[in-house]
């Protein structure tokens, strides 16, 4: 019941935020589709020698295989970068469970983001996004991956691995959007403001998705556990009644046998 109540709140937050994020992405795509050169340091592709992995998990258990699948996918993502040494991988754990798993794997853990998992807020997400962007700009990391569950419905959450940096700039098809812009104050200032804004929104969207998916997974897990407990209770009750009936029958047989003697 508690998870269901939290799920309704988290689902409302996701549905309320999604149109805003989609519109910001549309604006960026439309802007990039115009005849404007928009070089951005956040889109710079370079040799991958240092990797950061942001994993959105939960702070507690009792949510089925939710955390186990995220941790497994984190390990797979790290193994995929064969040219990257283990000591050059940094994990940003959003959630206590993934932080514990990263320490067991002897990975480098950066920061504590348990609060972002428990109650996602834009300020917290912006702080994390700014940290990642600054590290990328300063050449401390060459690629950032984000691993989270994308929430679609109570019964469906999709495990998603997304490249956060370098940002993958998407262009709209010709004729889809307006491209004749009057740009003020300058092209550089627009793109230097728009791309970081989209990146911050992306981290916040991942946090909201993860929170809703966690509560959905916990709701389903608790429903399954309740149904299994009811089945066990029925089985044990039947077994108890059979044992009790057998005991009564044996006592009656002993009484009848003694009367004949």
25-30-32 Cα angle (round to 5): 95
Residue 67 pLDDT grade (very low, low, confident, very high; cuts 50, 70, 90): very high
Question: Is 140 a domain residue?
Answer: yes
Model confidence at 251: pLDDT above 70: yes
Question: Is 18 a domain residue?
Answer: yes
CA-to-CA dists, residue 64 to 14, 77, 201, angstroms: 22, 22, 29
Model confidence at 260: pLDDT above 70: no
Question: Is 84 a domain residue?
Answer: yes
Question: Is 233 a domain residue?
Answer: no
Question: Is 235 a domain residue?
Answer: no
Tokens 């889809």 -> residue: 176
For the stretch 221-233, pLDDT in tens is: 887 777 788 889 9
Q: Are 153 and 15 a contacting pair, CB within 8 Å?
A: no
Residue 38 pLDDT grade (very low, low, confident, very high; cuts 50, 70, 90): low
* Domain CATH code at residue 149: 3.40.1380.10
- Could you tell me which residue, 221 or 126, shows the higher pLDDT? 126
For the stretch 136-190, pLDDT in tens is: 999 999 999 999 999 988 888 999 999 999 987 765 555 555 556 677 777 778 7
Residue 37 pLDDT grade (very low, low, confident, very high; cuts 50, 70, 90): low
CA-to-CA dists, residue 72 to 64, 66, 78, 79, angstroms: 14, 10, 10, 11
According to the model, what pLDDT value does residue 136 have? 94
Q: What are phi and psi of 144, to 5 degrees?
A: -125, 125
Record the pTM.
0.82
According to the model, what pLDDT value does residue 250 have? 84
Tokens 């569950």 -> residue: 149
According to the model, what pLDDT value does residue 145 have? 95
For the stretch 39-54, pLDDT in tens is: 788 888 888 999 999 9
CA distance 26 to 42: 18
Average pLDDT taken over every residue of the chain: 86
Question: Is 256 a domain residue?
Answer: no
Residues 6+ apart with CB under 8 A from 21: 201, 202, 205
Residue 110's domain comprises 2-221
Question: Is 259 a domain residue?
Answer: no
For the stretch 17-27, pLDDT in tens is: 888 888 888 87
Question: Is 53 a domain residue?
Answer: yes
Helices marked H in the chain — which ranges? 2-32, 66-80, 96-104, 114-118, 122-137, 187-260
Residues 6+ apart with CB under 8 A from 106: 86
Number of structural domains in the chain: 1
Strand pairing report for 156-165 and 51-56? unpaired
The structure tokens listed for 103 are 């320490």
- Report percent pLDDT > 70 for the chain: 92
């Amino acid at each position: 019941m508690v998870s269901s109540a939290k799920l309704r709140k988290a689902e409302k937050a996701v549905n309320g935020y999604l149109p805003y994020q989609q519109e910001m992405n549309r604006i960026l795509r439309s802007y990039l589709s115009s005849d404007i050169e928009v070089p951005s340091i956040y889109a710079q592709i370079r040799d991958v020698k240092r990797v950061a992995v942001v994993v959105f998990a939960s702070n507690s258990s009792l949510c089925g295989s939710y955390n186990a699948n995220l941790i497994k996918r984190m390990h797979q993502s790290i193994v995929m970068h064969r040219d990257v040494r283990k000591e050059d991988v940094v994990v940003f754990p959003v959630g206590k469970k993934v932080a514990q798993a990263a320490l067991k794997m002897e990975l480098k853990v950066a920061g504590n983001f348990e609060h972002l998992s428990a109650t996602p807020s834009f300020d917290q997400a912006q702080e994390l996004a700014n940290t990642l962007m600054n590290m990328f700009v300063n050449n401390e990391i060459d690629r950032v991956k984000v691993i989270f569950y994308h929430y679609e419905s109570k019964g469906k959450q999709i495990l998603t691995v997304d490249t956060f940096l370098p940002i993958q700039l998407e262009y709209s098809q010709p004729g889809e959007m307006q491209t004749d812009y009057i740009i003020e104050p300058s092209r550089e200032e627009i793109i230097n403001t728009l791309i970081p804004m989209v990146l911050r929104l992306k981290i916040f969207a991942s946090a909201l998705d993860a929170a809703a998916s966690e509560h959905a997974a916990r709701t389903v897990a608790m429903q399954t556990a309740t149904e299994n407990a009811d089945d066990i209770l029925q089985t044990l009750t039947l077994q108890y009644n059979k044992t009790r009936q057998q005991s009564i029958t044996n006592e009656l047989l002993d009484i009848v046998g003694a009367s004949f003697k």
